[in-house]
Amino acid sequence: MEIGRGAEAILTRDGDAVRKWRLPKSYRMKELDERLRAERTVMEARIMAEARRAGVPTPIIRDISRFELVMEYVDGKKLRDIITPELSERVGEVVGRLHRAGIVHGDLTTSNMLLKDNRIYLIDFGLAYHDQSIEAQGVDVHVYFQTLRSTHDDADTLIESFRRGYRRAYSRADAVLARVEEIRSRGRYL
């Protein structure tokens, strides 16, 4: 049963497993397309496993093939539908652990976060990469803040709560949060 479709992949559910199959791109040369799809599939699996080892709840990878990941189905609620200041503070802690491990998610939205058994899971690491720079981590947090501002009336409260959790979990949080403000002000003038 199809449960999601994006620009890069189709997600299907099979019992307690999710299959993420990377779609071929007809506008790319076949050899290049296959290489990119295979590399991105392997990279996503590796980064999810690293994030999990760093204390970030993620779906468990069960199998990997050339263009497909098979992972645990996390039957949780999307944070976009249930976010509260307390949950946003906990998101800050989770993202702090992720950044401490040198991983940038690349798509930190409340749609890519699930709550199950009182744990916040990060999902969809398709755009994730390794980067310890303040700029890359600042962009990651900026995306989360923009998501809150565009979808929630109490965005300022949720952002402040995130900041508390992020500072608690990550020693470089103040530098990243300062960069987020710089990125936001740059965006105002574009």
93 bridge partner residues: none
The beta-carbon contacts of 128-134 under 8 Å, at least 24 apart in sequence, are 128/43, 128/44, 128/47, 128/48, 128/51, 128/103, 128/104, 129/43, 129/47, 129/103, 129/104, 130/47, 130/102, 130/103, 130/104, 131/102, 131/104, 132/102, 134/172, 134/175, 134/176, 134/179
Would the pLDDT of 189 be above 60?
no
Q: Which residue ranges form the domains of the chain, and what is each CATH number?
A: 2-72 (3.30.200.20), 77-188 (1.10.510.10)
- Residue bearing tokens 């997600």: 11
pLDDT-derived band at 164 (thresholds 50, 70, 90) equals very high
Between the alpha carbon of residue 124 and those of residues 3, 28, 47, 168, the distances in Å are 13, 23, 11, 25
Instruction: Supply the mean pLDDT for the chain.
Output: 94
Share of the chain above pLDDT 90, in %: 89
Q: Which residue has the higher pLDDT, 99 or 189?
A: 99
| Catalytic residue selected from 33, 75, 107, 153 | 107
Would the pLDDT of 190 be above 70?
no
What pLDDT score was predicted for residue 8? 85
Report the run of H or E that residue 152 belongs to, with start and end: none
Tens digit of each residue's pLDDT (9 = 90 or more) over 111-120:
999 999 999 9
Tens digit of each residue's pLDDT (9 = 90 or more) over 90-136:
999 999 999 999 999 999 999 999 999 999 999 999 999 999 999 99
Q: State the pTM of this model.
A: 0.92
In the residue annotation, 107 being an active-site residue is answered as: yes
Tens digit of each residue's pLDDT (9 = 90 or more) over 22-35:
999 889 899 999 99
145 bridge partner residues: none
Name 93's Cβ contacts closer than 8 Å, sequence gap at least 6: 165, 166, 168, 169
> Is the CB of residue 66 less than 8 Å from the CB of residue 39?
no
